[in-house]
Chain A
Amino acid sequence: MRYPTWIRQHLAALRALLVLTVLLGAAYPLAVFAVAQIPGLKHHADGSYVSLHGRTVGSSLIGQSFTGKDGDPLRQYFQSRPSNAGDGYDPTATSASNLGPEDIVDTLPDPKPVAAGKEDENAGQSLLTQVCARSKAVGELEGVSGARPFCTPGGVGAVLAVFGHRTADGTVPHPTRVVSLNEEQGVVKAPFIAAYKGVPVELAEYGEDYAKGLVVPIKGDAPAEPAVPADAVTASGSGLDPHISPAYAALQVNRVAKARGTTPARVERLVEASTDGRDLGFMGERRVNVLELNIALDRAFPVRG
C-alpha cells in the first residue's frame, strides 16, 4: 500500500531518527565508556574518588562542607566557599545564587514567628547582606576584620532609603526621612550611621513599604581590599567548587594549626602541596583543593579524641 507523500516523509524521518538514536544515543556513549576503562582514564571516568585510611570519603572534584551538625565550621578543617547547592555542597541539587549585582535590599523577617523561635519563610537576605554576613563570620572565625565596603559592622548591607524631593540628576539633596533598610527594629539596637545629610536615620520596620524612597548604598570607610578574600564571601556557580584561593587558605592556616596542635609552617607546607598553579601557566587561577588538603591534614596531624 502506498501512503500519501507527507506520511511517507514522516515515516522516513522516524526511521532516520531511530537509526541515528541507535548510533549516536547508544553506540557512541558506550564506545566512549569502553575506551574510558583503560588505566589512566578509568579513575576519572568513575568520578575521581579519594580515600582516607582505606575508606572512600568523596571525589577530589566535588567540594564538601566541613561543618559540624549545628552548621558551625569545624576548626580543624579548612573551610570551603559558601554554596547554594541544596543545604551546601549537595550534588543532587547543584545551583548558583543567581542574585544580581544590585541585589542589596533584604526582605525582613516577621518578628512574630522569629520571637517564637521559628523562621519566616518569606524573609530573604539580599546578596549584599549575604556577602556582609559571611565576611563578618569568617573574620570572627579567623581573628581578622570582616569589614567590607557597603557593609554595616553588624554584617548586613549598609543601604538607606532616602525620602524627599528628587532633583533631575536622581539624587535627594534635602531628605525628609531616612531609613536603614536592612536593619530591623527589635533586631538591631541602632542604625549603622546616626544621621544622613543631617537627618536622623531610622531602623526599618517589618511590613512597612519603603518603595518610595531612593535606595542609596553607603560605601563606608572599609578598605577596598578587605582582609577576608572575595571567594570566601561569594558562592560558586556549581555550589560544588572543590577549590579556594591561596589567599583564603592562607587566612585559615593559623586557626587550623592551633586546632591540630601543630605549627602554622607545617600546615603551610601541606597547603603548598595541595595548591595548583594556572594550567600551562595561563589558564584559570591558582587554587587550593580543600578536600585533598583536609585529607592530608588528617593523615599528618590527626585530631586527638
Chain B
Amino acid sequence: MSTTLAGIIFIGSLVLALAVAYRPLGDYMYRVYSGTKHACAERAIYRLIGARPDAEQTWPVYARSVLAFSVIGILFLYGLQRLQNHLLLSLGFPPVKADQAWNTAVSFVTNTNWQSYSGESTMGHMVQMAGLAVQNFVSAAVGMAVAIALVRGFARKRTDRLGNFWVDLVRGSVRILLPIAFAGALVLIAGGLVQNFGDAHDHVVNTLAGGHQAITGGPVASQEAIKELGTNGGGFYNANSAHPFENAAPWTNWLEIFLILLIPFALCRTFGRMVGGDRQGYAIVSVVATLAVISVVLVQVFQLMHHGTVPTAVGGATEGVETRFGVSDSGTFAAATTLTSTGAVDSFHDSYTSLGGMMTMFDMMLGEVAPGGTGSGLYGMLILAVITVFVAGLMVGRTPEYLGKKIGSREIKLASMYFLITPILVLAGTGVAMATRSGRAGMLNHGAHGLSEVLYAFTSASNNNGSAFAGLTAGTVFYDTALGLCMALGRFLPMIFVLALAGSLARQGRAPESDGTLPTHRPQFVGLVAGVTVVLVALTFLPALALGPLAEGIHS
C-alpha cells in the first residue's frame, strides 16, 4: 500500500469513527447537562463544596464562579509547583522557578498547556498527577460548562438564569470526562504506555553497547488519556506525544487523535438537541468538518511534497518525525492538535516544511473552531455563526436572527469583542517581542523562520493551544510572563463576553420564524459560516503570515 493511500484511509477511518460516535455521545452529553437528578456521590460533592445544586445562576454569578474557580486553580497549581520539594513522589526535583511556575499554572488552568518546562527534568509525579492532570480535567469541564451556558442562552426564553456552574463543572468532569479517560487510559496501556510510580534513578539499565540509560516512568497513561480528551496537550515528557511512552504505536497515535476530536465534534450534537433542532447541530458540525478536512489535506499535501532545501536534501520531511508514525499520520496529528486547542505534538512543527508549518499556524488562527477545544470550540463557532447572520442580515437588509433570537446591537458588540481579542493579543504580542531585545533573543532560527517561531508562540498562547514551534527559547522571564498574560486574557475575556451574550440571549423571547428568516440549517448557511471564518482570519493574519512562513516558503 502506498503512503498516500494509507494516509487517506487513516483520515477516512477517523472521520468514520467520529461520525459513529457523534449521535450517542452527543445525546449522552445532552442528558448529562439537561438532567435534573443528582447522583448520590454528586450530592456528597455538592455538600462538600457548599453549593446548592438546584439554584440556578444569572450570567454575572456564573461568570464570577468560573473566574473564582480559575483563580483558585492558578494559585493552587502555582503553590504546588513552588513547594514540590516537600511533596511525596517529587523525585528529588527542586521547586519550579517562579516565572515558569506562573506560566505553567496559567497555562494549565486556561486549557492551553503550553510547555515552557521539560517534564522529565522539572515536574515530580505529584505535581503531574494532583496538579497538572487535575487541571486537564477541570479546564476542559469549565470550557464545556461555558459552552453549555451559551447554548442555554439560545434555548431558553425570558429568563436570567443560565444554570449552575458547580453542577455543570462536576457533571462534566465526573460523568463525561472521567469514564472516557479511564477507558482510554487502559486501552493506551495495552498499546504500550506506562503507568507506574517509578523513579528514573532506580531504573537505570546497562545498555547493549555498555552505556547507561535511565528509563523514566510515571503515571503517564492516565494523564495522556485526559490530555488528549480534554484537548489540553501538556506532555508528561518534554517530547510530548512523540515520546514512545506517551504514544507507543501507530494505532495509539490514531486513538489519541480520535480522543482529541471526540468531544468537540459530539458537542455540536448536544447543541442541536438543546436548541431543539438536530439539523442546527448538523449545520454547525458540517462547517467544522469541512474546515477540518480541508486543513488536514493541505498539511498532508505540503508535508508529502516536502518542498524546501532541507526536505529536498533529505528526500522527505522526516526531521522531527518518528519512524513508527511516518510523515503522513504525523501531519494528521498536527492538524488535529492545532484545529482543536490541544497543542500536543507527535512530531515537531518547527521542522515542518514552511507551508506545512504555516497550515498548523493558520489552523490556530481560525480561532480554534474547527472543531476547537472541548467547549471553547463550540462557543467560538457559535460566535462566528452570530457574526455570519449579522453579515447576511446586512446584505439583505433584515434584522439578523439566529435560532429565534434577535442579534441586536448588544449581541453583535459582544460577539465582535470576542472575535477581536485574539488578533489583538497575537499581533501586539508578536510586535512587542520583535521590538524588544529579550523577545528577539529567544529565537533559535534566523530570519523569516525566527519570526514564525515568535508568531506561532503568541498565536498558540492567545488561542490557548499550547503547541509550539519549539525552537523558541520560551523559558525566559520575558516569554513566561508575556505568554502567560496572553493565555489568561485569551481565555477569560472571551468567556466573559460569551456568558454576557448568553445572558442577553436568554432574556429575549423567541421570535417566530417568518419568510424573511435566514434558514440556519441549509448548505447555504454552512458555506456562509465557513466563508466568514476563513475571510475574517485571512484578513487579520495574512500580513503577518506573509512576513513569516509565506516569505520562507515562496523564496526558494
Taking Cβ atoms with an 8 Å cutoff, the residues of A that contact B are 6, 8-17, 19-21, 23-26, 28-29, 31-33, 35-36, 40-41, 44-49, 52, 55-59, 61-69, 74, 77, 81, 85, 89-105, 127-128, 131-132, 148-151, 157, 170, 217, 219, 224-226, 229-231, 233-245, 278-285, 287, 291, 294-295, 298
Q: By CB atoms of chain A within 10 A, which of B181, B325, B448 has the most?
A: B325
Question: Given the known A-B contacts A16-B169, A25-B129, are A101 and B352 also in contact in the complex, defined by CB atoms under 8 Å?
Answer: yes
Contact B73 A17 (CB under 8 A): yes
Q: Chain B residue with minimal CB distance to A48? A: B192
Contact B49 A15 (CB under 8 A): yes
Instruction: Tell me which residues across on chain B come within 8 A of A234, comparing CB atoms.
Output: 314, 318-321
Contact B323 A41 (CB under 8 A): no
Instruction: Tell me which residues across on chain B come within 8 A of A97, comparing CB atoms.
Output: 319-320, 348, 351
User: Count of B residues near A, CB < 8 Å?
Assistant: 125
**How far, in angstroms, from A302 to B119 measured CA to CA in the complex?**
38
Contact A45 B196 (CB under 8 A): yes
Q: Chain B residue with minimal CB distance to A63? A: B244
Q: Chain B residue with minimal CB distance to A11? A: B50
**How far, in angstroms, from A17 to B243 measured CA to CA in the complex?**
30
- For the complex of A and B, list the 6 residue pairs with the smallest distance between their C-beta atoms, beginning with the closest: A284-B250, A237-B242, A285-B326, A94-B239, A98-B471, A25-B130
The distance from the CB of A227 to the nearest CB of chain B, in whole angstroms, is 11
B68 part of interface (Cβ distance < 8 Å):
yes
The distance from the CB of B333 to the nearest CB of chain A, in whole angstroms, is 10
Question: Given the known A-B contacts A94-B238, A284-B249, are A62 and B244 also in contact in the complex, defined by CB atoms under 8 Å?
Answer: yes
Question: Given the known A-B contacts A128-B309, A238-B239, are A29 and B245 also in contact in the complex, defined by CB atoms under 8 Å?
Answer: no
**How far, in angstroms, from A237 to B320 measured CA to CA in the complex?**
4
The distance from the CB of B296 to the nearest CB of chain A, in whole angstroms, is 15
**How far, in angstroms, from A240 to B120 measured CA to CA in the complex?**
13
Q: Chain B residue with minimal CB distance to A243? A: B323
Question: Given the known A-B contacts A23-B174, A89-B213, A101-B353, are A240 and B1 also in contact in the complex, defined by CB atoms under 8 Å?
Answer: no
Contact A98 B208 (CB under 8 A): no
Question: Given the known A-B contacts A102-B309, A285-B250, are A77 and B215 also in contact in the complex, defined by CB atoms under 8 Å?
Answer: no
Question: Given the known A-B contacts A33-B197, A77-B208, A101-B317, are A279 and B250 also in contact in the complex, defined by CB atoms under 8 Å?
Answer: yes
Question: Given the known A-B contacts A279-B250, A284-B325, are A46 and B217 also in contact in the complex, defined by CB atoms under 8 Å?
Answer: yes
Instruction: Tell me which residues across on chain A come within 8 A of B65, comparing CB atoms.
Output: 9, 12-13
Instruction: Tell me which residues across on chain A come within 8 A of B239, comparing CB atoms.
Output: 85, 94-96, 237-240
**How far, in angstroms, from A90 to B215 measured CA to CA in the complex?**
9
**How far, in angstroms, from A69 to B169 measured CA to CA in the complex?**
55
B205 part of interface (Cβ distance < 8 Å):
yes
Instruction: Tell me which residues across on chain B come within 8 A of A8, comparing CB atoms.
Output: 50
Q: Which of A24, A47, A99 contacts B445 (CB 8 A)?
A: A99
Q: Which of A17, A81, A150, A245 contacts B138 (CB 8 A)?
A: A17
Instruction: Tell me which residues across on chain A come within 8 A of B13, comparing CB atoms.
Output: 282
B493 part of interface (Cβ distance < 8 Å):
no
23 A-B residue pairings within 8 Å (CB atoms): A21-B130, A24-B134, A25-B130, A32-B219, A57-B206, A57-B207, A65-B207, A94-B118, A97-B319, A99-B471, A101-B311, A101-B351, A148-B313, A217-B309, A224-B312, A226-B315, A234-B318, A235-B319, A236-B322, A238-B239, A279-B250, A283-B250, A287-B324
